Amino acid sequence: MSQRSMVEINHDIAEFDNPNWTRQFGTYIKSGSPADLPQGVTYFYRRHHADPCPLGDPPRGWANIEK
Name the pLDDT band for 1 (thresholds 50, 70, 90). low
pLDDT digits (tens, 9 = 90+) for 16-48: 999 999 999 999 999 999 999 999 999 999 999
The Cα angle at residue 19 between residues 63 and 46, in degrees rounded to 5: 40
Q: Which of 32, 37, 39 is nearest to 15 (CA)?
A: 39
- Categorise residue 45: left if φ over 0, alpha if ψ from -120 to 50, beta otherwise: beta
Overall pTM > 0.75: yes
Q: Which residues contact 40 (CB under 8 A, 6 or more apart)?
A: 9, 10, 11, 12, 13, 14, 15, 21
Amino acid 51 reads D
